[in-house]
Amino acid sequence: MIPEHVPARPVPVGTAGPPPSAEASAAPRRSPGVRTRAGNAMERTRAAVLDGAARAVEKYGARRATMGDIAVLAGIAKGTLYNHFRAKDAVYAAAVEAGVRTLAEECALAARDDLADALALAAERIGGHPALRRLATDEPAALAALVTPDDGPTWRLARDGVRGVLDAAGRASDAAAVDVVLRWLVSFVAHPGVDVARQAGLVAAAMPRVSLAD
């Protein structure tokens, strides 16, 4: 938290002295960089929480993991965790959205050179994610709910991410193309892929290039 500034000590009533200068009567100034440091600390704590949530699911499963488990694995106090999230489901939702966003950004960079490589990267990351593997083994119903498309923020983010990857590769990014890629990637949530690079190459080849005239 940003510390509040302590006001200057008042001059006792009746004490003679020179009038206060404009600088002394001005509003207190914040030390340079205080807000930035506080923001950075909050971002680091949030990142630790989301990592702790993924590790808690991997270790205990989504149902059995508690807020206390998440806090311990994040390396923070439980009270600090509740300053960021009030419920376990909110932590999970934020962790999934952060993971989707990060993966989409990495794949968009890779897609500038080779779309197949970008798709293979996404498929391998999804298929090998420890928390997803735990869900696939112990909580298939929770996993099924996770991979059921809807109009919620996570799926909108996923669609936008796929669209960004296709755009970066100079390929058509209409709804049909996005749906093909997204459905292929979602298949790796339940089962790690076999011969991922070859599959990624086939999917990439099926994505039409955008004409320069367009």
Is residue 46 over pLDDT 50?
A: yes
Domain assignment present for residue 11? The answer is no
Q: Look-up: residue for tokens 């440091």?
A: 37
CATH of the domain at 103: 1.10.357.10
Instruction: Express each pLDDT in 73-84 by its tens digit.
Output: 999 999 999 999
Domain assignment present for residue 122? The answer is yes
Domain assignment present for residue 12? The answer is no
Closest CA to 62 of 127, 128, 124, 146: 146
**Cα–Cα distance for residue pair 103/162, rounded to 1 Å:** 10
Instruction: Express each pLDDT in 99-119 by its tens digit.
Output: 999 999 999 999 999 999 999
Does the pTM surpass 0.85? The reply is no
The type of residue at 14 is G
Alpha-helical regions (H) of 128-190: 130-138, 140-146, 153-168, 175-190
Domain assignment present for residue 3? The answer is no
**Cα–Cα distance for residue pair 148/152, rounded to 1 Å:** 11
CA angle 129, 126, 124 (to 5 degrees): 100
**pLDDT value, residue 146:** 86
Domain count, the chain: 1
**Cα–Cα distance for residue pair 70/61, rounded to 1 Å:** 11
pLDDT confidence of 154, banded at 50, 70, 90? Answer: very high
- Percentage of the residues of the chain whose pLDDT score is greater than 70: 81
Instruction: Express each pLDDT in 5-35 by its tens digit.
Output: 434 333 333 334 444 444 433 444 545 555 5
